[in-house]
Structure 1
Amino acid sequence: MLTIRLALGGSKKRPFYHLTVTDSRNPRDGSHKEQIGFFNPVARGQEVRFSVKEDRLAYWLGVGAQMSERVAQLVKVNAKAAA
């Protein structure tokens, strides 16, 4: 089953997450099919905190991928903020 989830990157005390489409059996930071965005929880000021390619997200959801709980929450919150 395909899952849209966060893959950890960044450095010590500066987490950075990539939104990736991967098989649910792969490790968190393992191989992925496509990177469709990012989440930067420590962004300050004018830095972008969350970004996702809406067209690619819609495509992957259309072919049956499921969002993780955290990704679904981020997408929902940022959809409200954009409206």
Structure 2
Amino acid sequence: MAVRIRLTKIGRTHSPFYRIGAYDSRAPRNGKCLEYLGWYNPCCDEEDNQLRVKLERVQHWLSVGALPTHKTGILLKKAGVVLNKPKVKKASKEKAAKPKGKKAKKQKKS
């Protein structure tokens, strides 16, 4: 099961309020949450009351493989959570340039 850390909108029109939670990636935006991790209030003028996050629980979900969405990642960095991007191996140019299979054998004969 792939887990995403994302926002759920629970505010009214023109006064948004969001909960931060861990969700199954296949669940709808306002679907069932595995665990609520905090909240975000963009309308609040005071920075102290704008964002609250349970740092220990967020670190737990990140350690078991949960991925934050783009906006949630920005908010978590603002809260002080260290995010590690997964390393992706890039194919070298030599391997990509060499064809494989029957076509490769025909090219060698010529």
TM-score by length of 1: 0.88
Look up the match of 1:61: 62
Counterpart CA distance in 1 for 2:14 and 2:56 is 32
* TM-superposed deviation, 1:43: 0.4
Q: For residue 58 of structure 1, what is the amino acid of its counterpart?
A: Q
Structure 2: 5+ residue stretches without partners: 82-110
Look up the match of 2:28: 27
Q: For residue 38 of structure 2, what is the amino acid of its counterpart?
A: G
Q: How many residues align?
A: 80
Structure 1 25/49 Cα, relative in aligned 2: closer, same or farther at 3 Å? Answer: same
The Cα RMSD (Å) is: 1.6
Percent identity over the alignment is 34
Structure 1: 5+ residue stretches without partners: none
- Structure number with higher relative contact order (C-alpha < 8 Å, ≥ 6 residues apart): 1
Larger radius of gyration: 2
